[in-house]
């Protein structure tokens, strides 16, 4: 994909971490997304129906993150990618999730993943018909 829609520094709060003290209060997480898609049709028609509606995607991610209680940022990133691809048909997504202040002397620590439809092939396949 040549075209990319980017969402920068989405700051949310969620329960995340493996330690008991991390499971008591919500912590900040910063999410960055690169949604790889073809924007040519929307760029030609100037019609939102032909565009990937990143506002709707962002609302769904906020709902997911704020309602989650994962232990690992890896799991949170994976679930965000799964939503983008399976619920919104994004062909490829890069997800970066960071926990500010998670490491002493570091501004943040995080994970960056790249997923495509093929990564969720088993979840998108139709069950065999009898």
Examine the pLDDT at 127 and tell me if it is beyond 60. no
Predicted confidence at residue 125, as pLDDT, reads 52
Examine the pLDDT at 44 and tell me if it is beyond 60. yes
Q: What is the CA radius of gyration of the chain?
A: 16
Domain ranges for the chain, please list them: 3-122
> How far does CA 36 lie from the centroid of its chain?
12
Predicted confidence at residue 124, as pLDDT, reads 61
Tell me how long the chain is.
Answer: 130
What sections of the chain are H helices per DSSP?
Answer: 40-45, 54-67, 73-82, 121-124
Examine the pLDDT at 51 and tell me if it is beyond 60. yes
Q: How far apart are CA 73 and CA 78, in angstroms?
A: 8
24 is a catalytic site residue: no
Q: Which two tokens stand for residue 103?
A: 């490491």
**pLDDT average, residue stretch 25-39:** 96
- Residues ≥6 apart with Cβ < 8 Å to 79: 64, 68, 70
Choosing from 24, 59, 75, 99, which is the catalytic residue? 99
Q: What is the CATH number of domain 3-122?
A: 3.30.1130.10
Which pLDDT tens digit goes with each residue over 65-112?
999 999 999 999 999 999 999 999 999 999 999 999 888 888 889 999
Q: Which of 70, 71, 84, 87 shows the shortest CA–CA distance to 113? A: 84
**pLDDT average, residue stretch 53-57:** 96
């Amino acid at each position: 994909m040549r075209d990319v829609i980017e969402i920068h520094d989405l700051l949310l709060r969620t329960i995340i971490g493996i330690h008991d003290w991390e499971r008591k209060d919500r912590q900040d997480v910063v999410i960055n997304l690169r949604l790889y898609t073809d924007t040519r049709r929307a760029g030609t028609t100037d019609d939102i129906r032909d565009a990937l509606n990143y506002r709707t995607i962002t609302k769904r991610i906020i709902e997911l993150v704020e309602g989650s209680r994962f232990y690992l940022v890896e799991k949170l990133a994976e679930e965000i990618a799964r939503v983008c691809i399976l619920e919104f048909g994004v062909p490829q997504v890069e997800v970066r999730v960071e926990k500010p202040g998670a490491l002493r002397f570091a501004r943040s620590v995080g994970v960056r993943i790249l997923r495509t439809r093929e990564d969720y092939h088993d979840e998108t396949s139709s069950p065999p018909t009898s």
